[in-house]
Amino acid sequence: MAEILVTVAARTDTGPVRKNNEDAFRVVELDSGAVLEGVAGSRVCRPGSRGVLLALSDGMGGSQAGEVASALSVERLAAALLAAPDAVPPERRLLEAVRGANAEVVRAARVGSRRGMGATLTAVVVHDGMALLAQVGDSRAYALRSGILQQVTRDQSLVQALVDSGTLTPEQARTSSRKNVILQALGRSKEVLVALGRLQLRQGDRLLLCCDGLSNTFEHGELARLLSDGDPAAACDRLIEQAISRGADDNVTAVVAHVEGKDLPPARADEPPVATLDVLRDWRS
């Protein structure tokens, strides 16, 4: 088992436009069960034998149902991972935990004003020299290595499907009136198609989980610059504050993690993040 330290900061803000914050996050040491609350500063987490969970969810629905859906998503995910037997492989634990979170939101969405609610979910488990990635929806995970920032999840959205088909360019997708149309979310169906990936980590890698309220606010190069400077808490605060100052039209949430450890291979300029990323499960297949 690789010896790794994960320094994490997380912050969420309602933003300048919305009245309610429908985003939620969880950071949990899965060995100890310790939970990182959204307070100032960074926290050093130790993955141990079960890993460190980073999770972010963006809720949707009438009244305050979006808040309920996102909170349920991250809470159920964390609880399932904490309860999963050690004998179950980490990838299977994560997959089943996401499915369990979906089932919880589906059940809750049957009640009154919660009908129709849903939530995205992007989760990372840092474990044994790798980051296991799971995604439903369009909240994103990025990795920064040797100054190169790359998205390591793929949006499950209409505009991404149009980009993949060649109908839209990435530049057109950024300004499309349909950019907020997602193709699946937790709580919308009993069956959820979970995308899974495995990123082999390198010394000094930095991970970002964020909602679309943040990622839609910045150009790619700006996001890389804001993420790279300072410790995770400084980077996290800078991302949120800059997004708010630019008039972000949604809630803004960021989870920033910096990984280091003597057992991690050194980062190389010719090995960007996607060079060590394996797709384990494509949600479309």
**24-72 per-position pLDDT tens digit:** 999 999 999 998 876 567 899 999 999 999 999 999 875 568 999 999 9
Mean pLDDT of 82-103: 96
Residue whose tokens read 């809750």 = 108
Strands 148-151 and 140-145: antiparallel
Q: What is the pLDDT of residue 62?
A: 58
Question: Mind listing the pLDDT tens digit for each residue in 155-202?
Answer: 998 888 888 888 888 777 777 778 778 899 999 899 999 999 999 999
For tokens 């914050």, what's the residue?
21
Number of domains in the chain: 1
CATH number at residue 78: 3.60.40.10
Residue 267: inside a domain: yes
Q: Is residue 166 part of a domain?
A: no
Compute the radius of gyration of the chain from its Cα atoms. Answer: 17
Asked whether residue 149 is assigned to any structural domain, the reply reads yes
Distance CA 204, CA 4 (A): 11
- Rounded Cα gap, residues 145 and 184, in angstroms: 30
Cβ-based neighbour number of residue 229 at 10 Å = 9
Q: What is the pLDDT of residues 105-161, one digit of tens each?
A: 999 988 777 888 999 999 999 999 999 999 999 999 999 999 999 999 999 988 888
The reply to whether 264 falls in a domain is yes
Phi, psi of 4 (to 5 degrees): -135, 145
Considering only CA atoms, which of 11, 123, 24 is closest in space to residue 69?
A: 24
Range of the structural domain that residue 56 is part of? 5-154+185-281
Distance CA 98, CA 283 (A): 13
| pTM for the predicted model, two decimal places | 0.95
Look up tokens 């589906």; give the residue.
106
* Residue that is written with structure tokens 């995970």 in the block: 141
Is 172 within a domain?
Answer: no
171 assigned to some structural domain = no
Is 175 within the bounds of a domain? no
Token digits of residue 21 = 């914050």
167 assigned to some structural domain: no
Q: Classify residue 219 by burial, with Cβ atoms within 10 Å: 0-12, 13-18, 19+.
A: exposed
Rounded Cα distance between 66 and 231, Å, is 31
CA 9, CA 105: separation in Å to the nearest integer? Answer: 26
